[in-house]
Every structure is written in C-alpha cells, then in structure tokens.
Homo-oligomer: A and B are copies of this chain.
Amino acid sequence: MAKEPARVLVTGAAGQIGYALVPMIARGIMLGVDQPVILHLLDIPPAAEALNGVKMELVDAAFPLLKGVVATTDVVEACTGVNIAVMVGGFPRKEGMERKDVMTKNVSIYKSQASALEKHAAPNCKVLVVANPANTNALILKEFAPSIPEKNITCLTRLDHNRALGQVSERLNVQVSDVKNVIIWGNHSSSQYPDVNHATVKTPSGEKCVRELVADDAWLNGEFISTVQQRGAAIIKARKLSSALSAASSACDHIRDWVLGTPEGTWVSMGVYSDGSYNVPSGLIFSFPVTCQNGEWKIVQGLSIDEFSRKKLDATADELSEEKALAYSCLS
C-alpha cells in the first residue's frame, strides 16, 4: 500500500536553487523513492509567471511520485499542511547594500514566514533554511514561531560539509563516498570552520584518518579551510551565477538524513539550535556534527577540540552573536 503523500514547501521556488531542487524532490531524492510528494511552491508576485512556468514543467515531466503542485504567491496557502519547509527565498544582497540593509530585509521576511508556518504547517514540520544569512534567518524564524519545536528549525551547512568531503577526496585522489566525518562548525559564511580532525577515509586496509593520510597540516589548516570557506565565491566567478545544483543537492541530503537517519558510524553537519555543547553559546543556530535517527538529530558529543579548533569555533560563534545582535536591532 502506497504511503500518504508528504507535503514539501519550497520558498523562492521560481529562482535558480528552486529550479534545481524541485525535480530532485519530485524524483524521491529528498524523502526516498517510495514516498509520494506534493510540492508547495511559493514566490513573490513579480515572479508569479515564472513560478507558473515551473509548475507547468513539473506537470510536463510526468513524475510518477509527484501527486500535486500548489504554486502560489500566498504564504498561507503555501504553508498549509506542509511536513517539510525548505526556505530558499530571501532578499539577495545587491550592489551598494550595507550588511544592515540585507539583514533588515531578511529579518522582515523570516519574521512573517515564521508566523505563517507556525499557524498553518502540519505538526512536527521540519524546517531547513537555505537563504543567506542562513543561520540568522533560521534564528529569526525560530524566535517568531515559538510553537514550532526549536529542534525542528535548522539551516544548511551540508553544502559546506559536502564541499569539504569533495576537497579531501580530490586531494587524496579517492572516491568521495569513501570519505566521511568531516565537520563544519558554526556559521554558513566565510567564518565557518571545516574540521578534518575526526574525518576518515575507507582504504583497502581499513579506516584511516584524513590528517594522517594527507600528511600536510599546513594545507589542512590553511588552503583547505579557505577553499571550503570561499567556495561559493569561486563558483560565482566561474559560472557568473551562484551555486544552485550543489546547494539543491545538499538540501536533499540534509532532509533525507534527518528524516531517514544517518548511516551507522557516520555523522553529518547541520545548523541547529545550540544547547551549549562544545562551549558554543546557547541560543544561536550553529553548525554541529550530528547523527540522525527516528527523525531527530543529536549532536555528536565528546569529540576532542584542540587549541587551533577552539579559536576557530570561538571566532565563528562571535560572528553569529554579532549577526544576532544586528538582527534584533533591525527588528526594533
């Protein structure tokens, strides 16, 4: 007997990331090939015609798993009954805009969408915020949707996590599927800390540590970190557009592992509500290493944090606290 369809909301659905993401969801990449889906697509009125074009293409592709499409500019209709919400929509930074201007715009968007989600989404709706500043947008959403459990509000750092896996695999000339347990700590920004101290590679002679195999601490503590931190800019330089394909794919990974569970012995990175683990201030949305089971994430505890890492964690936590203060000042 077929499962009941899951309702998946994508905001900013007429944009680049949305266009990459929706066929992935419709093919079962996000929730599994046996899980029918109904897509809720939201965008702003100026994008209404383009949004309808996306809906038309979804119908044209005749996806067997796709049991309906609700394409709307009405946030209430968009949020109604959704089990998963992927918040891709946000105000992009334009030339000449100050950080505070971008923050003001996005804080306002996430405050109002928080309200609609809280009132109209299905119980236990899982939320993934993608639009930047992702961590702070997620924090605002949490603050203004108090009845959504804080554990259900996350932001995307799986893209950075996957980028780190990719860089290690290229450096070691191994398959990316043989690399695991990198960690992205902190903010989805250039202050993020990609940490390989607990990462391993599957080799013919068993699991080996990345740091040991790479045997180049200068690279791991230098260029590797900055490459991952600045990868978004490198993609923009090459494509003249920001990462859509990899962001969409990583969003699917984030939700899939959250809902279906992480493989044994493997953790992933998610931006989650900090509880003070690893001396990270509580009350921030901070990227941690997590395992997932039965639809819930849990921070991996007990990992050793050396002095170099401690400084990096503190720096990205500081940045997040500043963003939080800025966001709150925009609200008043």
Q: Give the shortest distance, in Å, between A33 (CB) and chain B (any CB).
A: 8
Main secondary structure of the interface of A (DSSP, over half): helix
Interface string of A56-71 (1 = CB under 8 A from B): 1111111110110000
A151 within 8 A of B: no
In the complex with contacts A20-B20, A23-B248, A27-B24, A60-B240 CB distance below 8 A: no
Which of A114-122, A135-143, A204-212, A230-238 lies at the interface with chain B?
Answer: A230-238
Check A23/B245 contact, CB under 8 A, given A60-B159, A64-B177, A163-B60. yes
- Measured CB to CB, the nearest residue on chain B to A178 is B64
Contact call A234/B166, Cβ cutoff below 8 A: no
Q: Which residues of B contact A166 (CB under 8 A)?
A: 59-62
Q: Is A309 an interface residue (CB 8 A)?
A: no
Cβ of A181 within 8 Å of any chain B Cβ, yes or no, is no
Whether a CB of chain B sits under 8 angstroms from the CB of A147 is no
Tell me if A220 counts as interface (CB < 8 A to partner B): no
Interchain CB contact (< 8 A) of A56 among B58, B60, B235:
B235
The reply to whether the CB of A175 lies closer than 8 angstroms to some CB of chain B is yes
Across the A-B interface, the 6 shortest Cβ-Cβ residue pairs: A53-B238, A53-B239, A62-B162, A64-B177, A60-B246, A59-B166
**Can you give 8 A-B contacts (C-beta < 8 A)?**
A50-B238, A50-B239, A54-B239, A56-B238, A60-B166, A60-B243, A61-B162, A61-B246
